[in-house]
Amino acid sequence: MAHHKSALKRIRQNELRRMRNRHVKSTMRTRVRQLRESVTAGDAAEVEQSFKVAVGSLNRAASKGVIPKKRASRKVARLARLVNREK
């Protein structure tokens, strides 16, 4: 366990960031899963709405530094390809 005041503060900050990142990442995964489920269901309006929400969630996670920007871009491109393939 840390003994220095600065090290204790760093531990507190890291825990807060970890919890925040975990929430953002979990939300992102849920949105992507919902999009994939709506694609398999075949409802076009639902797919369009889910795609917008999933892309926003991926971009938000990338802007916060939870995932790398290029990974978010790659995932968005693959999801767009999935959505357009089903049309």
CATH at 46: 1.20.58.110
Residue 64, pLDDT > 70, answer yes
Kindly state whether residue 6 falls inside one of the protein's structural domains.
no
Kindly state whether residue 17 falls inside one of the protein's structural domains.
no
- Own/partner contacts of 35-42, CB < 8 Å, gap of 24 or more, are 35/79, 35/83, 36/82, 39/82, 39/83, 39/86, 42/86
Structural domains of the chain, count: 1
Identify the domain containing residue 61 by its residue range.
Answer: 27-86
**Averaged pLDDT of the chain:** 95
Kindly state whether residue 4 falls inside one of the protein's structural domains.
no
66 vs 17: CA distance, rounded Å: 10
9 by Cβ neighbours in 10 Å (0-12 / 13-18 / 19+) ranks as exposed
Summarize pLDDT for 33-46 with one digit per residue, the tens: 999 999 999 889 99
The answer to whether the CB of 39 falls within 8 A of the CB of 83 is: yes
